[in-house]
Structure formats: structure tokens, C-alpha cells
Structure 1
Amino acid sequence: MSDPLSGKKAIVTGASSGIGKEVALRLLQAGAQVSLVSRNPDRILQELPAGSNAKGYAIDLGEIAQVATKMKAIAAEMGGVDILINNAGMAYIGELIDMPLDEWQKLFDLNLTSVFQCLQAVLPSMRSQKSGTIINVASIAAKQGFPNWGAYCASKFALLGLTQAIAAEEQPHGIKVMSICPGSVDTALWDTLGDKVPPSFNRAAMLRPATVAESIMTLVNLPKDAVISDLVLMPNAGTF
């Protein structure tokens, strides 16, 4: 019996590492055609076996002026999109009182506005086929505020609001839009934050990217008549 995802067309953002990479690998294993969107898609492409049904697109989603055009081009090249995983994102640690405006805008461009433009790129084809699945990767920081993570929390709270609104708009068109809110995940994101990461953060106790990816695949594989609007996934160790 063939996998229900066989032949499905999927786009994964932030696909070169962490959660995005793990989801992309699972979609490929399930027989999907996967477009890998990342600043460095070669990182994952070079690990894939020959003949993998994947193509990389080197796009910096933080350069917001180009996102709509490039994502629409990917959707057109694929001949439609069945699955979109909005995973790309960034963090900033520091008190809001000291945060430069350009850093705030950069974070919101990537964490929120690029998602909005990715949605606009794929929704026309999903509406035309009266089906589609979209997963927005949020965070436990979309549920509660954390000191020194104010901008990140604000962007993820906004992403959750966007997800809920677009889900209501697209439900009549047969499109599922869901969010997942993981607790701390041991990804390369932490490596970019340097000495701003508190020494109390035990990365070994965090969620593994593979664990989050498996949960995302659960959402993707839900029966047609079922939806989980928002999935909160936490490490057993609790909130860091």
C-alpha cells in the first residue's frame, strides 16, 4: 500500500538544519516532492541519496522584498502545493528597553512577515484544488512571555494569531492551517546566540529536532476530516 503522502508537493522553509531538515527528510521518505527553502540548501542536499525528489532554493526569507516573488515562482514551478511547513525563524535575547529598532524589524520580518508572504504564495493553488495542509512552527513563547525574550515572544504570539485567523478563512476552502508550539529544542539556533544563552540552559534536556518533526508529521498525516488547531509539545524537563 502506497504512502498517502506519495506524490504530494511540499515546501519546507528553514530546511537545511534542525526541525526543518528533519521534517524534509520524513516527507521525502514518505514519497513527497519537496522544495527545500533555506539560505544554504546545499547543507541538506549533499546528505540526500542520488535521485531524491528534492530541489533546493537559496532564499533569505529575512530579505522581505523578494519573498513573495520567489515563493510564488516555486509554487508555479511545482505545479501547485499540497503542504507548506513554515519553519524558518530567528531569536533575539535582550531586554526590550535596549533593543535596536532594526533588530526588532529584522526579527519580525523573518518570524512573521515572511510567513504571511509564504501563505499568500501557496494559497491560490490550494484553493483551486480545494485542499492543502499548512503547519506554522511557533513556540511555547507564543503562549507566555519570558524576560529577555520579549521580541521573540511578540513575534510568536503574532504568528499564532495569524495562524488562527488564516485557518478560519481557509477552512471553507478545504485547507487545514495548524500550529505547533514546541518548548526548547536543541537546534543550531542556540549556537547563534553566544554568551547570551543562560548557563542554566541544559541543551541535553531539550526536545530533539527529530521529536518535533515526528509531531509535525502527525499533523500532516491527520485524516481529511480531522484537524489539531494547535499542538503544544514540551520536553519532560519543563520550560527552561
Structure 2
Amino acid sequence: MDLHLEKKNVLITGGSKGIGLEIAKRFVEEKANVSIVGRDIEYLNKAKDLLGNITIYQSDITNHYERSGLIDKYLLDHGHIDILVNNAGGSNGGEILETPMEKFYEAFELNYFSVVDLSKQVIKSMKKQKSGSILNISSIYGRESGGKVTYNNSKAALISFTKALSSEVIQYGIRVNSIAPGSIIHESSIWEKLSQEKQMEIETFLDTQIPAKRFGTPEEIANVAVFLASDQASWIVGATINVDGGQSKMNF
């Protein structure tokens, strides 16, 4: 299937490793003009060496001023943006009663407020061209219990935001959707570390919690990402698609 992504201007946050890096790779394969954002210049440079002709931006997207500077610089460099992938995210804290409030604020700044802010900024540009696609990377745990509460809460807010924003901007030709990954393994994931440290427990987890009996891969998320971002998914608006090997407990 030709996704018609050639020469599309794509910006991916958290694009220097893991799922974000694989999403960037797939867009490169589709001959898009790919730019990635990350905090660590070493990882950014490694990604550029791997992917070739991409643009890198070092930025801390938990900082409002850096987010504004990022989009201003991107539009100055590229003129316009066709696709924004809000992939950057992370987990912190523990049990609710043991987690200080600042950890909740930190989780929401990274997983939620950064997405709201960046999306609002790029929509100003997308409205002028009457087209665009915003893709948010959420989690199956934004819909059910499991994992850390700060992460779950912020990802639940992200799913709700995806639907709300999509309803506002589809009239301008801008589509907003989300992917909810299950447990995905890659070299910088917690699952990779746990697989080495607690092999028996992980084998039990895979056997009892994931019907597919294995972890998902970044490639399997990236394949869905490029499709959802493309015009081939033109009638998918405000959706959050589970990509989880059957792991989610939702049945509706």
C-alpha cells in the first residue's frame, strides 16, 4: 500500500530511541522529511547516524519555553508541518499514598501537558494549509488498571484529549488519533531490564497476561503509526487503537 507520505514534514518527540526511533525509521522508509526531538544529544546523534538524512532537535519538552522555541525553530527550518507524533513519555512514582504530588505533576507535564501544548502550536500552522495529522502515543493502561498510577492517569487524560481535540479540528482537515501500546520490549525499556533480572517472573507474565505469549516490538507500533498518520486512514478520527497482542482486558 502506498501511504503517500513522500516529502511530508514529520516531527516526532522522543524520537531518538525505542518506539520513537522505530517510528522515525518507518517514516524515513516512506521517504518523508523526518525530524526527531530528544533531550540527550548523544542519542540524537546516534539516531541521525542510523537513519541518515533527518533533522535533530535537542529540547526538553517538559519545559513550556523550550516547547515554544522548538516549534518556532522547526517552522523556520521547514516552513510547515504535516504530521506531529507525540511519542515522548515516561513513568515514575509508585503506590498512590507513597507517591509525592510532584511526581504526579512531573508525569502530567511529560505525558499530557507537553502534548496539549505542542498540538495547539502546530495546529496554527496546519489550519493554514487545511490539512495535518497528529498522532499521540498513549497506553492500554490509560484505559484500565496496571502499571504506575501517575502514568495511568496521564495516559487516560491523553486518550480523552485525543478525542476532544479531534472533534474540534477535523473541520479544518486535521486528524487527531492515538495508539495505545501494550507491553513493548526494546533496549531502553523496563521490560528488557526485567527480562534479564527476573526471567522466571517475566515468563509467567507473558504466559498469563498476554494472549500472544510474547512482548510487542517497536516495529509493530511503528507500522500502525505510519498508517494512522497517512491519508489512507482519512476516516479514522479521534480513535485510540490498541496495539497489544490481546493484552488489554477491555472487551468493548
| Interval containing the TM-score (normalised by the shorter chain) | 0.7 to 0.9
Aligned amino acid, residue 48 of structure 2? L
Q: Per-residue deviation at 1:194?
A: 7.5
Q: Percent identity?
A: 28
Give the superposition deviation at 1:191.
6.8
**Residue identity matched to 1:32:** A
Match 2:50 to one of 33, 37, 47: 47
1:172 Cα deviation after fit:
0.6
User: Contact 1:163 / 1:179 at 8 angstroms: preserved in 2?
Assistant: yes
**1:235 Cα offset (Å):** 2.2
- Measured in 2, the distance between the counterparts of 1:223 and 1:2 equals 8
> In the alignment, is the contact (CA less than 8 A) between 1:15 and 1:38 conserved in 2?
yes
Residue type matched to 2:49 in 1?
Q
The normalised TM-score by structure 1 is 0.88
Unaligned residue ranges in structure 1 (runs of 5+): none
Secondary structure, in 3 states, of the residue corresponding to 2:242? Answer: strand
Instruction: Give the CA deviation at 1:63.
Output: 2.8
Matched, 1:221 2:216: no
Matches within 5 A, 1:5-20: 5-20=5-20
1:120 is displaced (CA, Å) by: 1.8
| In structure 2, distance between residues paired with 1:61 and 1:192 | 25
* C-alpha deviation, 1:30, in angstroms: 1.0
Note if contact 2:57-2:70 (Cα within 8 Å) is conserved in structure 1. no
Contact 1:68–1:120, Cα closer than 8 Å, also in 2: no
Q: Take 2:71 and 2:192, find their aligned partners in 1: how far apart are those partners?
A: 26
- CA distance 1:239–1:193, shift in 2 (3 Å): farther
Residues of 2 paired with 1:160 and 1:198: CA distance? 32
Q: How far, CA to CA, are the matches of 1:194 and 1:34 in structure 2?
A: 32
Q: Following TM superposition, where does structure 1 have runs of at least 4 consecutive aligned residues deviating by more than 4 angstroms?
A: 191-195
Bigger helix share: 2
Distance in 2, matches of 1:190 and 1:3, equals 32
Residue of structure 1 equivalent to 2:219: 210
Aligned twin of 1:235: 245
Letter in 1 for 2:217: R
Point out the more displaced range, 34-43 or 175-184.
Answer: 34-43
Question: Which region of structure 1 is more displaced relative to structure 2, 20-29 or 201-210?
Answer: 201-210
Seen in structure 2, the aligned counterparts of structure 1 residues 169 and 119 have a Cα distance that, compared at 3 Å, is same
Are positions 1:178 and 2:154 aligned together?
no
